[in-house]
Amino acid sequence: MTSVKDWIDSQIKVMWDMQKPSGIIEGWHGDGNFARTTIMYCLWKSQGLTAENWHQDLKIGAECKDGVLYASISCEPGWSGKIKFDIPRWRDKMHMPADYPRINQFQQWFTVEAGKNYDVTFYPSGKRKNYSGQQLIDGLTLKIKQQDEVFLTVKEQ
């Protein structure tokens, strides 16, 4: 039996195959739906992690299990920049009392809170460091050497 995750992975490939080299799909307002779906898919696969100092070869993947974020970051030619963590936008940006489903909502996955503290472990070194939520929101500075991959675990203290 195919899982929902597997089905979504297969369908995003169908969508992406429709995209022309110009980036256009059909040339009407439906292209905005395509863009929004692509962004939401990518945020799901990165659990809301984004990069400052983007590079086209940068790869960010993450999964959250039992409240622990497991992330992988690589860039074949090497990279330095910041990895930024998502916040509870429904509360901190939109000032809503709850995160209820909304039309055109951008889902949230792993979020950090400014006033809390988090343990971050870097692999393969095994180095462990404590960060405030605000530091993670502002961005975790990383330098990745050519053809290296950095793995992180992030857990609220």
117 and 80 fall within a common domain: yes
Neighbours of 48 (CB within 10 A): 21
pLDDT at 102: 78
Are 86 and 114 within one domain? yes
Distance CA 79, CA 12 (A): 27
- Supply the pLDDT for residue 70: 98
The reply to whether 53 and 31 lie within a common domain is no
Helices H, strands E: what count in the chain?
4, 8
Identify the domain boundary among 28, 46, 64.
Answer: 46
Question: Do 73 and 42 belong together in one domain?
Answer: no
Do 53 and 38 share a structural domain?
no
Does residue 54 share a domain with residue 41? Answer: no
Q: Are residues 56 and 32 in the same domain?
A: no
Q: Given this model, what pLDDT does residue 100 score? A: 82
Show the domain range for 78. Answer: 49-156
If asked whether residues 130 and 80 sit together in one domain, one would say yes
Residue 147 tokens, joined: 């053809």
Altogether, the residues listed in the chain come to a count of: 157
Structural domain count, the chain = 2
pLDDT tens digit string along 85-118?
999 998 998 898 988 887 777 889 999 999 999 9
CATH number of 69's domain: 2.60.40.1180
The answer on 63 and 107 residing in a single domain is yes
Same domain? For 62 and 123 the reply is yes
Peptide bond into 124 cis (omega under 30): yes
**Residue 79 contacts residue 53 (beta carbons within 8 Å):** yes
* 78 burial via Cβ count (<10 Å: 0-12, 13-18, 19+): middle
Clarify whether residues 83 and 151 are in a common domain: yes
3-state secondary structure of 112: coil
What are the strands of the beta sheet with 117-123, ordered from one edge?
A: 58-65, 68-75, 149-156, 117-123, 128-132
- Positions of the chain with pLDDT lower than 70, given as ranges: none
Q: Does residue 67 share a domain with residue 23?
A: no
